[in-house]
Amino acid sequence: MPTPSELLLAETRRYLRGYRSASLCAGLTLQGAHLVQGLRGKGPPPREDAVFSLGALTEVFTAALLAVMVGRQDLRLDTPLSELIPRALLVDEVAGRITLEQLATHTSGLPHLPPNLGAAAQNPEDPFGRYSAGLFGEFLRGYHPERPSPRPPAESFLGMGVLGHALSRRAGLNYGHALRDLLCKPLGMVDTTARVSDEQAPRLLSGHTARGRPVAPWTFPALPGAGALHSTAGDLLRFLDANLGRGEPGLVRALKLTHAPRVDSGRVRWGLGWNVSQVRGHAVVWRSSVMGGFVGFLGFAPAADVGVVLLADHGWSLFAALRGRVPLEAPGLAILSRLLPLP
């Protein structure tokens, strides 16, 4: 059996060969012991506390914030949007009956992207950066679903943005502050944030295309709950530890609420923010992302008491995109699979 370090190197070697200039931080928590490695195919590796944009991995944290607020009895999974968003902003009664659980499991029927995204001043370098709170409000006021929820599962980036907005309204804080106060601070996650601090800025990596061309930072002023977070491999290992049962009991119970599969999307089942797969007869809970010049994987297997973090600063190739592949998804799942007990 290889050592944890050898396992991380073995399973990420193919990615590093394919994206030789990419900076990769690989992290492993195994029965509470942490390992973080900075890796690179060509050139100096990144520092172990490098800060990455999380992209769609943010959605896992938005769902976790929902679970924490449910655990605090601030709201319920079946709380409808009409209880959280004023009638002046969400005028349609059918839209108002969409529940928080439906948003977190992508069964709300909301489109993947805001239909009025094109009304924002166009900036291909930062496609969501000029989608303002005003345009988001215009979408909500004009949204009239043809049929009530739940609807067949279909990923909705917009839906997770709406969920983040609804949660911040109930918390009485903006999204970043609500996440900081209710989740990150209790877990000791000092580097997970929607706004990079002056201290973090020197550690923040820039995103790149698959060929290594720098990509401007993506920002999400109106939809932070869908993609705005930044973090480090070490911080994400602390988050995985809490999902594996280590930490304050109330938070551990809340996070466990997100793991249960609730919707069958065909290829995988969906919990709250997470994908849930069966691997060698055991549940593996995971999520991957490709967004804004970054790729990432976050996953854990309770049966082996193991969690994996993979973060890189290069986006995917056109070939990978056409085949529907996320570059770090296969190595992330392979690492977890190799550490699972035999069925």
Domain contains 329: yes
- Mean of all residue pLDDT scores within the chain: 95
Domain containing 264 — which CATH number?
3.40.710.10
Query: Tens digits of per-residue pLDDT, 211-232?
Result: 899 999 999 999 999 999 999 9
What pLDDT shows up at residue 54?
A: 98
In this predicted structure, the answer to whether residue 50 has a pLDDT above a threshold of 90 is yes
Mean pLDDT score, 179-189 = 98
- Give buried/exposed letters for 304-332 (b at 16+ CB in 10 A, else e): bbbbbbbbbbbbbbeebeeeeebbbbebb
Domain contains 133: yes
What pLDDT shows up at residue 318?
A: 61
Domain contains 61: yes
What pLDDT shows up at residue 266?
A: 82
Domain contains 36: no
What pLDDT shows up at residue 124?
A: 85
Mean pLDDT score, 315-333 = 77
**Residue 146 contacts residue 100 (beta carbons within 8 Å):** no
More confident residue, 219 or 327: 219
Range(s) of the domain holding residue 84: 4-29+50-339
In this predicted structure, the answer to whether residue 23 has a pLDDT above a threshold of 80 is yes
Cβ neighbours of 16 (radius 10 Å): 20
Number of domains, the chain: 1
Residue percentage of the chain with pLDDT more than 70:
97
What pLDDT shows up at residue 95?
A: 97
Domain contains 177: yes
What pLDDT shows up at residue 118?
A: 92
Domain contains 35: no
pTM exceeds 0.75: yes
What pLDDT shows up at residue 319?
A: 63
What distance separates the 2 farthest-apart alpha carbons in the chain? Answer: 61
What pLDDT shows up at residue 122?
A: 83
Query: CA 161, CA 165: separation in Å to the nearest integer?
Result: 6
Domain contains 66: yes
In this predicted structure, the answer to whether residue 36 has a pLDDT above a threshold of 80 is yes
What pLDDT shows up at residue 163?
A: 98
Q: Which pLDDT band, with edges at 50, 70 and 90, does 293 fall under?
A: very high
What pLDDT shows up at residue 320?
A: 64
**Residue 224 contacts residue 176 (beta carbons within 8 Å):** yes
Cβ neighbours of 115 (radius 10 Å): 12
What pLDDT shows up at residue 120?
A: 86
Query: Tens digits of per-residue pLDDT, 62-116?
Result: 999 999 999 999 999 999 999 999 999 999 999 999 999 999 999 999 999 999 9
Query: Tens digits of per-residue pLDDT, 242-261?
Result: 999 999 999 999 999 999 99
Angle formed at CA 69 by CA 29 and CA 243, multiple of 5 degrees: 15
Nearest to 220 by CA among 126, 104, 155, 134: 126
What pLDDT shows up at residue 102?
A: 98
